[in-house]
């Protein structure tokens, strides 16, 4: 059976001297594996449409007998060229790709996750606040996975929070109002708590890396597998190198 869908290419690896296995996140079918024959040939008709992090429209054959499908057609939608020119942006996109590969189920439609990933790549490539993209993406993915964090309402009393929360408790699932915090000191800085409020207001974040780090730990804790995400370590190394060269 032939199927057609949009796909974001997450990873690819050699299968033989001339072929590749491509892991892609499909709009209609979740994460899938594809065999691309003669992919290394200069006559390969797919060219850059199956590059890692590219978004394409594909037609593939699903026999129902194997988890490895054959791509018949592939048309490039977006190669995200500006993202590829920046090492930090590329590393951020690789973190998204590895998390999706690790945690998304195979074969099930994940439309919301696809749309959030597509939007995050667009922001990294040409958006106004690319530095916010990974933190916001992690926040949305936690929501899609069933681990939504309460930002607008207090997790204890349920009252709506106006302005910044008084504190944020990841282990309890969200924000705390001033009355429920009482005389206790908050766990996070005023800048961090301000950024929590800015998430839903869609305002630029003061320190997206701080939110990103906490969301990353939250995702790893709740998605059921606490193995190392190698691309996240690489992202920190890239940032450390950039800091040392500009210092």
Q: In this structure, what CATH number is given to the domain that contains residue 23?
A: 2.40.50.140
Q: Point out the domain boundary residue: 43, 63, 79.
A: 79
Going from the C-alpha of 236 to that of each of 90, 118, 241, 244, the distances in angstroms are 12, 23, 9, 12
Model pLDDT, residue 244: 62
Supply 200's token pair: 């839903």
Q: What is the pLDDT of residues 132-162, one digit of tens each?
A: 999 999 999 999 989 999 999 999 999 999 9
Confidence of residue 245 (pLDDT cuts 50, 70, 90): low
- Does residue 200 share a domain with residue 126? yes
**What pLDDT band is residue 226 in, cutting at 50, 70 and 90?**
low
| Average pLDDT of the residues of the chain | 92
N-to-C CA span, the chain: 57
Q: Work out how many domains the chain is built from and give that number.
A: 2
| Structural domain boundaries, residue 67 | 1-79
Do 216 and 226 reside in the same domain of the chain?
yes
Q: In terms of domains, do 96 and 32 share one?
A: no
Tell me: do 23 and 142 sit in the same domain. no
Q: How far apart are CA 235 and CA 222, in angstroms?
A: 22
Q: 120 with 240, same domain?
A: yes
Residue entry with tokens 């018949």: 72
Report which of residues 217 and 245 the model is more confident about: 217
40 shares a domain with 106:
no
**pLDDT for 212-222, tens place per residue?**
999 999 988 88
**Residue 159 has what pLDDT?**
97
Question: Is the pLDDT score of 190 beyond 80?
Answer: yes
Residues 69 and 127 in one domain: no
* CATH number for position 222: 1.20.1440.120
pLDDT range class, residue 225, cuts 50, 70, 90: low
């Amino acid at each position: 059976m032939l199927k057609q869908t949009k796909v974001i290419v997450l990873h690819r690896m050699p299968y033989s001297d001339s072929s590749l296995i491509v892991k892609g996140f499909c709009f209609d079918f979740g994460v899938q594996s594809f065999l691309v024959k003669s992919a290394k040939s200069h006559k390969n008709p797919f060219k850059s449409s199956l590059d890692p992090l590219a978004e394409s429209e594909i037609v593939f054959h699903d026999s129902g007998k194997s988890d490895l499908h054959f791509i018949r057609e592939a048309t490039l939608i977006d190669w995200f060229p500006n993202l590829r020119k920046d090492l930090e942006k590329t590393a951020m996109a690789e973190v998204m790709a590895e998390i999706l590969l690790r945690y998304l189920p195979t074969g099930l439609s994940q439309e919301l996750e696809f749309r959030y990933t597509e939007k995050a790549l667009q922001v990294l490539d040409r958006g106004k606040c690319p530095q916010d993209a990974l933190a916001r993406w992690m926040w949305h993915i936690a929501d899609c996975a069933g681990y939504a964090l309460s930002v607008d309402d207090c997790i204890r009393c349920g009252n709506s929070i106006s302005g910044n929360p008084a504190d944020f408790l990841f282990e309890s699932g969200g924000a705390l109002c001033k009355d429920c915090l009482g005389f206790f000191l908050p766990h996070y800085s005023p800048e961090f708590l301000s950024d929590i409020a800015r998430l839903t207001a869609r305002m630029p974040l003061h320190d997206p890396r701080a939110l990103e780090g906490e969301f990353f730990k939250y995702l790893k804790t709740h998605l059921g597998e606490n193995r190392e995400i190698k691309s996240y370590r690489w992202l920190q190394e890239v940032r450390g190198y950039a800091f040392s060269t500009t210092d």
